Chains A and B, each alone.
Chain A
Amino acid sequence: MSINNNVIFDTVNNGIIIIDEELKIHAWNNWLKIFTDIDAKDVLGKNICDLFSYINEKKLKRKIKTVLVTKNASFISLDTNDYLINIPVSNITNKVFSSMKQEVTILPYDYEQKLACIYIYDVTPLSEINYKLQKANEELIDMSHRDPLTHIYNRRYFAEQSGKILAFSKRNDLPLTILILDIDKFKNINDTYGHFVGDEVIIKVAKILSKHIRQSDIVARFGGEEFVMLLQNCDIQNGKNVAEKTRLDIQDSTITLKSKEIVDFTISIGVAQYDQKQDANNLEHTVSRADEALYKSKNNGRNQTTIAK
């Protein structure tokens, strides 16, 4: 059986270019003609980088040389390049990318004439699925880290991150301060106005806490009406300042019910700075000290900040 290579060349469902080491095009198949709307006669003998100025000439020349020297394949990976030749995507459903995603394999073709063969594969549908999966995964991970009511981080995320942050702070000799915060007489709010209003108060407090932290800090809902703030590169004095500003901000905040009734609320805070001697690499111990300070704030009349010993 004789095989007509030209039939394969012009019917295969991927792009094929035969190119020399100076990047002059020697062959251009029908697939490329269809997708680029450029006929073979308009590209043959021309430098591919003159036709498509976005192609990195130095890099492509090196890849052609690599295949001719090693006598093996070289690749242009999707990890670093979206495409070799920019082909707009014409799919109107599930369109994620504006250009065709391409996996490119370069193989030696003729050693004497120093020719290589470039195969271009359309991997757009697979890339779209991967992209959507990745997005969905990121959303799932984010959801598992967040409290569903307030959308601030949850206790699990705080536990996961606090160890890393402590290690970073120790390595760079930076102070680390923890604030434990609790809404005062929250049971009374629930009993008086109902759980819906109780939830509104929790959401409002979470929003105010988020306003008082930097990007490097963490605010999390510890459970119920209790919150935690982890302040990086922050000593006890600055921690107390943040606590007081937050407390006053919450003291000045209210929720207005449909009945026009105004609900006000306050918080009590305990502040502790991580101390190597007392806490011995255990941030949970710092949290316990901040918790003890919080209970002092409660016992001393609430709506106040206490610094841990």
Chain B
Amino acid sequence: MEQEIILNEDEKDCLQELMNIAYGFATASISEILEKFATLSIPKINTISSKELNTYLNTKLRTNKKYYICNQLINGHLSGENIFLIDERSSYNLAKEFDLDENEIDENEIKDIVLEITNILSSATSGKLASLINATVSFNSPHITKIESLDQFDKRFESEYAHVIIISTELNFKDQHIKGELILLTREKSSNYLKEALSKVLEDL
């Protein structure tokens, strides 16, 4: 339950390719929904064990910044939880891209927009990845919290989840750099399903 997801080099490359396709879809979706040009940087994929996630988040949250943390449960073949982590400044910039006037932007609106972008990124990654490997998934309603330290983060993920896939990306609008990170927590069964599915995709190539 504590090891890093074991993917060989080919499987890692395959996952990176599938994620590139998924993020391409996410970029196109965001541009179409907001009717403005947006780009997502090529996602950097990193796989770690759930124990290492604690250290990883600790480094992130040690910067005296406040973060919005949005989590969404995934059911089905790729069951687990997606977490989107975005700092306060980036969230504010994101709200401006959703055509909100300065006087319309408050804590509630920002949360609403982070929830929406999480849902889009989550469905574009887990949803698209699922469709590319013939898996079935469904999503629960996402939830959002504002946190300042790791103490406010529920530590149960260490026992709940086996593996962690971190997808770092930057969402860019015309003059705005919005940094966010999507973290995919997968259960043991789903990690095995993903590994098998990736091998199958490679065989079919």
Chain B 138-165 near chain A by CB (<8 Å), digits 1 or 0: 1101111000000000000000000000
CB distance from B149 to the nearest CB of A (A): 10
A residues in contact with B138, CB < 8 Å: 73
Contact in complex: B143, A79 (CB < 8 Å)? yes
Chain B interface secondary structure, helix, strand, loop or mixed?
helix
- Chain A interface residue bracket vs B: 20 to 34
Contact in complex: B123, A73 (CB < 8 Å)? yes
Q: State which residues 74-128 of B face A: CB under 8 Å.
A: 98-99, 108, 111-112, 115-116, 119-120, 123-124, 127
Contact in complex: B141, A69 (CB < 8 Å)? no
Cα–Cα distance between A226 and B120 once the two chains are bound (Å): 57
Contact in complex: A70, B124 (CB < 8 Å)? yes
Instruction: Choose among A63, A77, A78, A81 the residue with the greatest number of B CB atoms under 10 Å from its CB.
Output: A77
Cα–Cα distance between A74 and B119 once the two chains are bound (Å): 7
Chain A 265-292 near chain B by CB (<8 Å), digits 1 or 0: 0000000000000000000000000000
Cα–Cα distance between A75 and B115 once the two chains are bound (Å): 8
Contact residue among A58, A62, A71 (Cβ-Cβ distance under 8 Å from B116): A62
A residues in contact with B196, CB < 8 Å: none
Contact residue among B29, B32, B127, B144 (Cβ-Cβ distance under 8 Å from A80): B144
Contact in complex: A70, B144 (CB < 8 Å)? no
Residue B205, interface by CB 8 Å: no
Contact in complex: A72, B127 (CB < 8 Å)? yes
Residue A221, interface by CB 8 Å: no
Cα–Cα distance between A81 and B29 once the two chains are bound (Å): 24
User: Nearest chain-B residue to A62 (Cβ)?
Assistant: B33
Residue A47, interface by CB 8 Å: no
Instruction: Choose among A71, A73, A75, A103 the residue with the greatest number of B CB atoms under 10 Å from its CB.
Output: A75
Chain A 44-76 near chain B by CB (<8 Å), digits 1 or 0: 000000000000001100110110011111110
Contact in complex: A59, B119 (CB < 8 Å)? no
CB distance from A191 to the nearest CB of B (A): 46
Q: Contacts A62-B33, A69-B32 given; indicate if A77 touches B143 (C-beta within 8 A).
A: yes
Cα–Cα distance between A72 and B127 once the two chains are bound (Å): 8
Q: Contacts A77-B141, A80-B144 given; indicate if A66 touches B33 (C-beta within 8 A).
A: yes
Cα–Cα distance between A59 and B139 once the two chains are bound (Å): 20
CB distance from A117 to the nearest CB of B (A): 15
Cα–Cα distance between A78 and B142 once the two chains are bound (Å): 10
A residues in contact with B143, CB < 8 Å: 77, 79
B residues in contact with A150, CB < 8 Å: none
Contact in complex: A77, B115 (CB < 8 Å)? yes
B residues in contact with A81, CB < 8 Å: 112
Q: Contacts A66-B33, A69-B32, A70-B124 given; indicate if A75 touches B119 (C-beta within 8 A).
A: yes
Contact in complex: B123, A80 (CB < 8 Å)? no
CB distance from A12 to the nearest CB of B (A): 18
Cα–Cα distance between A59 and B141 once the two chains are bound (Å): 17
Interface residues of B (CB under 8 A from A): 29, 32-33, 98-99, 108, 111-112, 115-116, 119-120, 123-124, 127, 138-139, 141-144
Q: List 21 A-B contacts (CB under 8 A).
A: A62-B98, A63-B116, A66-B29, A66-B120, A69-B33, A70-B29, A70-B127, A71-B127, A72-B119, A72-B123, A73-B123, A73-B138, A73-B139, A75-B119, A77-B112, A77-B141, A77-B142, A77-B144, A78-B141, A79-B111, A80-B115
